[in-house]
């Protein structure tokens, strides 16, 4: 059973990949089971993500299926190892309280490319601690000081995904998310300063979609798109509701969201102009500091 006692997004990804390669090889589950000296039930449960395959079994199955790409083999064997690892986020009760959030963090941690569209909020991976606290204060359900501290700690750990430079990150943000006044000018200023700093990283692209581009802004509500291999082809899309995080892994959904994101990037200001835009907003906030809060 995957870590945590239930199917995880990692075990589901591994199972889905093994099923695709088996079907491409035109082999049935019984044939696969005999090759690893297992049962058909075991293959079925592996492909459903209900149990994690051992790296050795993954290697044998890929050989049987005729998969010769060593990068693919290494990636899936590593995924088998990671499926049984306890993610750091499981140390925080709130990470598993909301349905889908733990799987979202696992995708974020494993991703090689992350692309996000945010029309209302600053994207999660570039939020400051005080911005997170301000959002928590808006909740209709009161949060204890411990819950607030935990939310900030989780966000700090999540930020390492792009701050360590291993993941390519691209965000398109609609202008109101940047310009509409935040709870205080201090929160607003520090959040935009952080965006300014992050946007200068070589693995980060921040683009601003102008307010006037209503059509592009309404192509879709917010979403985060993940690629998990060496190529940027999306493999999962996620979005939040008021009560849970929804993760989509259907190929048609991937294609649709990839087209939407490219349309948003084309309509948005280029990264350099976007940085200038953010700095101009910052300048306006700094000038307003002369007035009382």
**Residue that finishes a domain, picked among 65, 83, 101:** 83
Cα gap 204→223, rounded to integer Å: 17
User: Domain holding 36: CATH number?
Assistant: 1.10.260.40
Angle between helix 129-137 and helix 185-199 axes, rounded to 10 deg: 130
Domain shared by 139 and 276, yes or no: yes
**Residue that finishes a domain, picked among 83, 117, 141:** 83
Domain shared by 74 and 96, yes or no: no
pLDDT digits (tens, 9 = 90+) for 187-239: 999 999 999 999 999 999 999 999 999 999 999 999 999 998 888 889 899 99
DSSP state string for 114-133: EEEEESSS--GGG--HHHHH
Domain shared by 129 and 224, yes or no: yes
Percent of the chain at pLDDT above 90?
Answer: 64
**pLDDT greater than 60 at residue 39:** yes
User: Domain holding 179: CATH number?
Assistant: 3.30.870
Cα gap 45→256, rounded to integer Å: 30
Domain that holds residue 20: 9-83
The structure's pTM equals: 0.83
Domain shared by 185 and 55, yes or no: no
Query: What 8-state DSSP symbol labels residue 167?
Result: S
Higher pLDDT, 17 or 3: 17
Considering the domain boundaries, does residue 3 fall inside one? no
CB neighbour class for 256 (10 Å; exposed up to 12, middle 13-18, buried from 19): middle
Which single residue is written with the structure tokens 């200023």? 189
**Residue that finishes a domain, picked among 49, 83, 117:** 83
What is the average pLDDT score of the chain? 90
Question: How many domains is the chain partitioned into structurally?
Answer: 2
Domain shared by 72 and 134, yes or no: no
Considering the domain boundaries, does residue 43 fall inside one? yes
């Amino acid at each position: 059973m995957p870590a945590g006692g239930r199917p995880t997004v990692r075990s589901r990804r591994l199972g889905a990949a093994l099923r695709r390669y088996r079907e491409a090889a035109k082999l049935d589950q019984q044939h696969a089971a005999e090759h690893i000296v297992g049962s058909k039930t075991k293959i079925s449960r592996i492909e459903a993500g209900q149990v994690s395959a051992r790296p050795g079994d993954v290697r044998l199955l890929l050989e049987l299926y005729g998969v010769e790409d060593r990068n693919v083999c290494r990636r899936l064997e590593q995924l088998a190892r990671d499926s049984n690892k306890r993610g750091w986020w499981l140390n925080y009760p709130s990470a598993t309280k909301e349905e889908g959030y733990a799987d979202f963090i696992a995708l974020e941690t494993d991703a090689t490319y992350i692309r996000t569209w945010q029309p209302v909020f600053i994207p999660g991976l570039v939020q400051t601690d005080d911005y997170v606290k301000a959002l928590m204060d808006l909740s209709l359900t009161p949060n204890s000081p411990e819950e607030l501290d935990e939310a900030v700690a989780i966000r700090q750990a999540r930020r390492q995904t792009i701050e360590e430079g291993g993941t390519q990150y691209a965000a398109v943000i609609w202008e109101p998310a940047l310009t509409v006044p935040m709870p205080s000018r201090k929160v607003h200023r520090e959040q935009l300063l952080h965006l300014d700093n992050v946007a200068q990283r070589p693995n980060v692209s921040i683009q601003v979609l102008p307010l006037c581009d209503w059509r592009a802004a309404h192509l879709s509500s917010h979403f985060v798109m993940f690629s998990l291999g060496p190529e940027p082809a999306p493999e999962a899309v996620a979005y939040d509701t008021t009560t849970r995080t929804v993760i989509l892994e259907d190929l048609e959904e991937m294609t649709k969201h990839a087209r939407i994101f490219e349309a948003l990037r084309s309509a948005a200001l280029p990264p350099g102009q976007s940085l200038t835009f953010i700095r101009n907003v910052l300048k306006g906030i700094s000038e307003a500091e002369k007035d009382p809060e």
